[in-house]
A and B are shown apart, each in its own frame.
Chain A
Amino acid sequence: MDKMLTLESVYFSYSEEDPVVLADLSLDIPAGKVTAILGPNGTGKTTMLHIMLGLLKPFQGVVTVAGKSHKDYSKRELSQLIGLVPQFESIPFNFSVIEYVLLGRSPYLNPFQLPGDLDLEITEKALKEAGISHLAEKPVTEISGGERQLVHISRVLTQKTKILLLDEPTAHLDLENQNRILSLLKRMAAHGVTTVITTHDPNAAIFAADHFVLMNQGNIAAEGELGEVITTENLSMIYKTPIRVERTTGYTMVVMDKMEEHG
């Protein structure tokens, strides 16, 4: 397995007084595949993405991107290598979709440079790839939640990075939009882009991912292929709720059972 991103014995906490969020965490992210990170709320998934991005620095441990440590890259080089779609991305002003997506070209421009024709061409291509060319001139504040998520993904596509990190990319979306976004990510992986998504929805992970990581209390509980990780025992233990994994010919589905009432 070719590794694109590696975390080795990583420890992290937000300050000396705060509890440790990640403890002795080691993980390899395979190149050119979709990796899904699953786990309950507050288990450190977003923190881990921010550490992969280089936004947060672990107080112990090593993070390697394409064979080199974060600190061996300049900020600009790193932004040409890793793209992020955060869980919450508020856009306070009424940019048009194309103006906003064009910002994905920033890593290729110096702070005093304006985007040129090539940047515009790449942006239009990204909008087409995401199937939202018709929204180009619409204000971002006037489109639906699903369309907005496609806009964020288009922005990260114009960044032309080898690694994509997406924090809960399908949260709050209907099934059609989930399908559009996950299918787009699978197409990107087929073109060699290493993709890491966090999600609460095991079925979305099964739909899109090739590699699975289960996190619990700041560490890795299970890691590997679908059959090894997405099991009734693993999910019931992690989510502390009765969960069944049903496997039929060629398909795996996660079903939640009703909780017994107490008292």
Chain B
Amino acid sequence: MAKDKYNRFLLLLGLGILVVFLVSVFIGRYPSPPGMLPHILFEDRLARQLVLNLRLPRLLVAFLLGMILSAAGSVLQMIFRNPLVEPGFLGVTQGAAFGAAISILYFAKHPLVIELSATFFGLLALGASYYLSIRIRYGGWVLRLILSGVAVSALFSAGVGVLKYVADPLTELPEITFWLLGGLYSVTWRDLLFVLPFALIGIVVVYVMRWRVNLLSLNDDTAFSLGASLTRERLIILITTVAAAAALTSISGVISWVGLIVPHISRRIFGASAEKSIPAAMLLGGGFTMIADDLARTLLAGEIPLGILTSAIGAGLFIYLMISMSFKVRRDG
């Protein structure tokens, strides 16, 4: 896509997201579905509090969550040269789930403690995957990390299974299950402040290194011959994006498919070069997650877990992309 056309497209996308954001502020079940008109904010104190204390932080977190999951998905797919990779790939999602479950059972049920525990175990899973990949003595860098990620993910998944098994079925098990289904129903300004540093570092690093990601997607010998410090540059990008994804997962629960499907859509519209597809994927992901969250809180009288909606919409889009002619990815290496 030509530069001018791309810039115009991105500007339009940005404006579209702004409109979604503004509309999302006013839609909901208060005072009655589908929402409120703007003037009510000046007249109704409860409406003002609802918007300022609940909807605004929730919308901002939804936007950041979509941005980070999409950025991490784009980066992981390119670095691992595998279009089926998403942020949970290195065991991070299952690690965070284990952290949340163990906190609900044994540490404390305070949201901050659950978030810290989920972030800690998400990062621990990332570290374990990386350490294991160094210890494996065969295969290239990509294969070793894939194998390590699968193994670490399975270990933490087994751990979550054990914790669910021993959890009190009336009090603790529903809480773990609801966390695993994913949702932003309890997000506050404090949660936003908790994830903001991780998210900003992840976004800035991916944005400034976006062209370099193309280079890191080439064969090791070619990338080396073009001056890339492969291990160092890949680690910088992986750690910052995956840490941001772990932090956001700690407050949202397991939100699947965004990090897998949005990079595909972005590459299809804007081309394969990460210089263009990554910023677009971040905006698309942010918008997608905000809309999915709007649906989660407005479709039914009770809230639908966000993870269920993103999975349903994401899987539907994925099937459409797979059977449409434009879904072309070479897997010859």
Contacts and interface: CB of A to CB of B under 8 A. Distances in A.
A180 interface: no
B226 A159 contact: yes
B38 interface: no
Task: From B218, B222, B332, name the one whose CB has the most chain A CB atoms within 10 angstroms.
Answer: B222
Contacts of B331: 92
A93 B218 CA distance: 10
A109 to B, nearest CB: 8
A84 B222 contact: yes
Contacts of B219: 86, 88-90
A88 B333 contact: yes
Contacts of A94: 267, 271-272, 328-330
A95 B272 contact: yes
B221 A53 contact: yes
Interface stretch (B92-100, B207-215, B303-311): B207-215
B333 A95 contact: no
A128 interface: no
Task: From B81, B219, B220, B272, name the one whose CB has the most chain A CB atoms within 10 angstroms.
Answer: B272
Given A55-B221, A89-B222, A93-B78, A75 B229 contact: yes
B225 interface: yes
Interface in B140-169: none
Contacts of A86: 219, 221-222
B273 interface: yes
Given A53-B225, A91-B218, A106-B226, A111 B212 contact: yes
Interface string B320-333: 00000000111111
A107 B328 contact: no
B275 interface: yes
B209 A103 contact: no
B139 interface: no
A143 to B, nearest CB: 12
Interface string B183-219: 0000000000000000000000000110110110111
A111 B209 contact: yes
Task: From B82, B227, B233, B273, name the one whose CB has the most chain A CB atoms within 10 angstroms.
Answer: B227
B221 A93 contact: no
Contacts of A76: 227
B225 A82 contact: yes
B226 A93 contact: no
Contacts of A53: 221, 224-225
Which bracket fits the contact residues of A? 35 or more
B269 interface: no
B228 interface: yes
A159 B211 CA distance: 16
Contacts of B209: 111-112
A99 interface: yes
Nearest to A159: B226
A108 B222 CA distance: 15
A232 B221 CA distance: 35
B200 to A, nearest CB: 16
A103 B218 contact: yes
A99 B272 contact: yes
Contacts of B83: 92-93
Nearest to A112: B208
B169 to A, nearest CB: 46
A88 B333 CA distance: 8
A141 B227 contact: no
Nearest to A76: B227
Contacts of A90: 81, 219, 330, 332-333
A106 B330 contact: no
Contacts of B220: 55
Nearest to A141: B330
Given A55-B221, A111-B209, A106 B227 contact: yes
A115 interface: yes
A103 B226 contact: yes
A113 B331 CA distance: 29
Contacts of A78: 227
Interface string B71-114: 00000001001110000000000000000000000000000000
A183 to B, nearest CB: 23
A39 interface: no
Contacts of B222: 84, 86, 89
A115 B214 CA distance: 12
Contacts of B221: 50, 53, 55, 84, 86
Nearest to A78: B227
Task: From B208, B224, B233, name the one whose CB has the most chain A CB atoms within 10 angstroms.
Answer: B224
Interface string B223-253: 0111111000100000000000000000000
Contacts of A91: 218, 330
Given A94-B330, A114-B275, 9 more contacts: A79-B224, A84-B222, A86-B219, A92-B82, A94-B267, A103-B214, A103-B215, A106-B228, A111-B212
18 contacts: A50-B221, A53-B225, A54-B224, A80-B227, A84-B225, A86-B221, A89-B219, A91-B218, A92-B82, A92-B217, A92-B333, A93-B329, A93-B330, A99-B214, A103-B214, A103-B215, A112-B208, A115-B211
